[in-house]
Structure 1
Amino acid sequence: MRAFLTPVLTGGALAALLAGGALARQTAVAPAPQLAPARASPLPATQALFDSYVASGKTPGVVGAFGIGDRPTLFVSAGRVARDDDARRAGLDSLWRVYSMTKPVTAMAAMILIDQGKLRLDEPLSDVLPAFKTMRVLDDPNGSVDATHPAKAPITIRNLLTHTAGLGYDLGQPVGAKGTLLERYRMLGINPAQINAAGEAQSRRVRAPNIQEFANRLATLPLIAEPGTKWSYSIGLDLMGAVIEKVSGMPFDTFVNTRIFKPLKMRSSFWTVPRSEVGRLATVYAFGPGGTMIAFDPAATSVYLTPPSFPYGGAGLVMSASDYDRFLHMLQNYGELDGVRIMRAETAKLAMSNLLPRSVEFGSLPGNTGGTMGPKMGFGAGGSVILEDKADSMGVGTYGWGGAAGTIAWVNPVRKMRGTVMVNYFPGEKWPLRADTVKALQSDMARYARR
């Protein structure tokens, strides 16, 4: 696992910086066309790193957004949104599939309902979705779906937010659902994600047509662990979308759009990318055998240009670095940005605190899940939380998550710092971008601290 993005960034050093300014095609991994920087970068080491990633063919393009307090965000970018010679330069408004970085957005939508008193953190899920009233648990997580026993406790809203509900995940690897339970997930179409056009055509043959049917199907399957006893990466935030829809009385995506995106002026955040914006959309690549780079979901034919079966709260968004920075900036300010309050400060603090049930620890993750590990960590609403200071740590209270295609997001509201990095390639751990960015930012901070 890559360490969480954890450089030591002192407020003064960063303040000084801010004050100053289907398998469509295969090509060998080779240096991409060079693009001269538009202007001198305020983060030269980070700029050099991003330039090197493009020049060496690791990624066609990369964009970073870094900020402290309410000073203007610093954007660092290199390359283009695709390997095509006519592709647009990657920039603050380029569009990227953020995959699991959707989870913090969904989680904060749920926290808004908690803030309004319409939902309670420890409320049983069955109060909202009765189909989950009587759940069963596998006798053996790797055993038969027919060998089960009644759950000892109900699934709660806290459990969904923190991946402690006992739900599984079909990630095509040994995480979450396994064995016959994984087979049942696939048979019932419990796959709330879209990867490319070819894969989507197959998924739609069995996937539930709407979010409530998805929830009802999921309720018929046993859990892999007793609710509230184990951290296991899951589709809990996808199920949370069904909860939000029921409680709010409006479609899940409409609630997110009206309660988060619109008031925060996040105009480049989409569940479905408009055809008019396809030029801004990055192509997602996959690294194949023999050193090949595969255009896995080309922008021009992207699955994200057509509406999904339903909005996926765990992995469904396409966003710009600028928009995700505004989302993090709101969290950094404990629920407020530019005079607009999304939730009360105490609710935002709660969301970014360790919400794991007692005796449950945030366990290690396999690769390609979007998760990252670092110092001693807990888990808040849809994202991890650093619980102890270390020499290479952003500090206690740093909240964030990543995406399967390499994207990174973190915010420390105590130190009032935040960062977003956007790329689109599989697997997200192909290159040590997270660790490399840490080193580059540390170098930039040291340079300004010496001034």
Structure 2
Amino acid sequence: MRTAYRLAATAVMALAATVAIGQAQRRPPMTVQGDPPKPASPPVAISGSTLLPATQALFDGYVRSAKMPGIVGAFGVGDLPTQFVTAGRQGLEPGQRAADADTLWRVYSMTKPVTGMAAMMLVEDGKMALDQPIADFLPAFRRMTVLTDPDGSLASRPAARPITIRHLLTHTAGLGYNIVTKGPLLKEYERLGILPGTVNVAVEAQARKVRPTSLQAFAARVATLPLIADPGTKWSYSIGLDLMGAVIEKASGMSFERFVQTRIFTPLKMNHSYWQVPRDRQAWLATNYTFVGDRLIPLDPAATSTFLDAPSFPYGGAGLVMSARDYDRFLHMLQNEGQLDGARVMKAETARLAMSNLLPQGVFFTGIGGGTGGTQAAALGFGAGGSVYLVDRPGGSGKGTYGWGGAAGTIAWVDRGRRMRGTVMVNYFPAERWPTRAEIPAALAKDAGRFTAR
């Protein structure tokens, strides 16, 4: 028994030392009869009420005080069993399932690390290189221009250098984003349907009137617009990972969604990760909410969710719906530097490179502030689709901790040095409505203290 407690204490203490670093973009943003079947051969899970009582109490408090209908956390250290902590239900509607490890959540920008790793697999395969121009795959990007009067017009000059794979992965390509871009360029993004994301049925109906219907058509329209800065000179949150999907198609010779399924989801047994939620899984889908004052208002009800329909194309920056169990498996693979349960999806050196600071020389990332769900922090870099800590933070994240978050409040991080990881799943806008990124690590620290006191 004492050995078991020491093992548990090691796990909890390691988790408590990691602060979730997920950053989130801000977007305005099924029923099956009978009990749901259990997934085949699920990994062993230890209840949060057994080993993580402070974290469980925090989650229970969130639900009891109506801050959220439900929440699921998946925390892991090494190859010890994943700790799933759950509270509440998938929605406020009558008859909703209890939120659990297999509930499906809109992860929005937590899609970006998945796309980033898919790109790094092609780098490993020798089918593209980090500093290779994307024009080698998408010729329309051969002659890009840069805005000279961003506040007043679309006037532009030739770009100083081409956009590369590295630039797309690290948001340094000079591309815009409808959630952060302003002025005349934003109007052009809206006019041309450069809107790679899904909110609900009503918003989607309007977006589809102008949005292109394939990744390649999307890329072709992006290539006609000026950049906000010369490639490789500035970090600016962007559609870079969405455009990367189009590059992956050309480099791999298969559709983007097929590549991700074949190279990541299937070998890692991520059986419930979707661009479109199948009808036989709709009972597991959570409702997404928005706040009106302190009231939770359904924004995308599960029963009629737009994620039950096929997207215009797979959004590499914000398109996936996933379970906490699946995202934990993705992070576990990264923690293990490219392999999980005997399946190797990338070389260890590729995984390490992907989670290292890939920013061009002289470019810095300092975080995303208020209105996005992100936080400001010192000594941050940026890897393939996610941020990276460049130094240890006393009492916090270790050097090399990699992660990102989602617009609807989800959080994910992996600290390879300490071999630990964390996923938190909720669904509400705005992501920063409650300080979960600070409160959850604090609760984990309390749990660590419980074990060390024995």
Tell whether the structures are fold-level matches, with TM greater than 0.5.
yes
Task: Write out aligned runs for 1:28-43 (5 A).
Answer: 40-43=49-52
Corresponding position of 2:156 = 148
Match of 1:420 among 423, 441, 446: 423
Q: Give the secondary structure class of the aligned counterpart of 2:438.
A: helix
Select between 366-375 and 150-159 the one with higher mean Cα deviation. Answer: 366-375
Change beyond 3 A, Cα 1:123–1:138 = same
| Residue 15 (str. 1) matches residue 36 (str. 2) | no
Letter of the structure 1 residue corresponding to residue 246 of structure 2:
A
Corresponding position of 1:78 = 87
Q: Render the CA deviation track for 1:145-185: whole Å, top value 9, x for unaligned.
A: 1x2110001100000000000000001xxx2x210000000
Unmatched segments (≥5 aa) in structure 2: 1-5, 15-27, 29-45
Letter of the structure 1 residue corresponding to residue 159 of structure 2:
A
Task: Write out aligned runs for 1:44-83 (5 A).
Answer: 44-83=53-92
Aligned residues: 419
Select between 271-280 and 295-304 the one with higher mean Cα deviation. Answer: 271-280
Change beyond 3 A, Cα 1:277–1:348 = same
TM-score after normalising by structure 2: 0.90
Q: Render the CA deviation track for 1:104-162: whole Å, top value 9, x for unaligned.
A: 000000000001111100001101110000000001332311x2110001100000000
Change beyond 3 A, Cα 1:11–1:207 = farther
Letter of the structure 2 residue corresponding to residue 186 of structure 1:
E
Unmatched segments (≥5 aa) in structure 1: 1-9, 24-36
TM-score after normalising by structure 1: 0.90
Is contact 1:11–1:68 with CA below 8 Å preserved after alignment? no
| Residue 389 (str. 1) matches residue 397 (str. 2) | no
Task: Write out aligned runs for 1:24-423 (5 A).
Answer: 40-145=49-154, 147-171=155-179, 175=180, 177-289=181-293, 291-423=294-426
| Residue 433 (str. 1) matches residue 442 (str. 2) | no
2: CA distance between counterparts of 1:433 and 1:391? 20
Q: Render the CA deviation track for 1:230-275: whole Å, top value 9, x for unaligned.
A: 0000000000000001111111001001100000000010000011
TM-fit CA distance, 1:364: 3.6
Q: Give the secondary structure class of the aligned counterpart of 2:432.
A: coil
Is contact 2:12–2:444 with CA below 8 Å preserved after alignment? no
TM-fit CA distance, 1:13: 3.0
TM-fit CA distance, 1:38: 8.2
Q: Render the CA deviation track for 1:36-69: whole Å, top value 9, x for unaligned.
A: x988331000000000000000000000000011
Q: Give the secondary structure class of the aligned counterpart of 1:229.
A: coil
1: CA distance between counterparts of 2:379 and 2:160? 29
4+ runs of 1 displaced by more than 6 Å? Answer: none
TM-fit CA distance, 1:388: 1.2
Is contact 1:370–1:401 with CA below 8 Å preserved after alignment? no
1: CA distance between counterparts of 2:285 and 2:258? 22
Q: Render the CA deviation track for 1:61-104: whole Å, top value 9, x for unaligned.
A: 00000001111100000000001231000000000000000000
Q: Render the CA deviation track for 1:270-289: whole Å, top value 9, x for unaligned.
A: 00001111111000000014
TM-fit CA distance, 1:303: 0.3
Q: Give the secondary structure class of the aligned counterpart of 1:348.
A: helix
Is contact 2:112–2:241 with CA below 8 Å preserved after alignment? yes
Select between 87-96 and 364-373 the one with higher mean Cα deviation. Answer: 364-373
1: CA distance between counterparts of 2:367 and 2:115? 23
Change beyond 3 A, Cα 1:372–1:299 = same
Letter of the structure 1 residue corresponding to residue 360 of structure 2:
P
Is contact 1:11–1:415 with CA below 8 Å preserved after alignment? no
